[in-house]
Amino acid sequence: MAKMTVGLSTSSIDKLTSVGVILSGAAADDMEVDLFVLVNAGHAFLKNKAENISAMSEDIQTSEEFKASLEKVSSPSWLEFFEMAKELTEVKIHICSLAGKIAGGEKMEDFIDIVDDICGIGEYIESIQNTDINIFI
């Protein structure tokens, strides 16, 4: 089984959706995926913010247009893409501790259920060293 490592450093809805599509493709190819939530992406995975992440996006106007386009084509949300991928293949979502702290979450119960653990940056570096595909968004 091939392995992919994804470093996610943004909570922008278009980029979260892009990662969701990539995760779906990896699931279709039966890949193992380690996704590391870095720096500014932690906000997207907080329990109280995940459903309304467009408020945290880089460009609110563009985000609202993007959300409307997703709805128009009946596309799953970024979160639904992530959940589907986790159901179909081995996807682990790791919150790097600094990203968690920046977002205001330091314990597992602060984050949505798809998060598997909180880790240090060393685990991300180790994953990069032992992966077939490395993506940073």
Half-sphere exposure of 1 (CA within 13 A, CB side): 13
Residue 49's pLDDT is: 72
Range of the domain at 94: 3-136
Residue 14's pLDDT is: 87
pLDDT(55) > 50 = no
What is the value of pTM for the model shown? 0.90
Task: For tokens 């702290």, name the residue.
Answer: 101
Higher pLDDT, 7 or 63: 7
Cα-Cα-Cα-Cα dihedral sign, residues 129, 133, 24, 6: positive
- Which two tokens mark 63? 């985000």
Q: What is the mean pLDDT of residues 116-137?
A: 97
pLDDT in tens, 86-100: 999 999 999 999 999
Number of domains in the chain: 1
CATH code, domain with 19: 3.40.1260.10
Q: What are phi and psi of 5, to 5 degrees?
A: -115, 130
Where does the chain have alpha helices with state H? 13-28, 60-72, 78-88, 97-103, 121-129
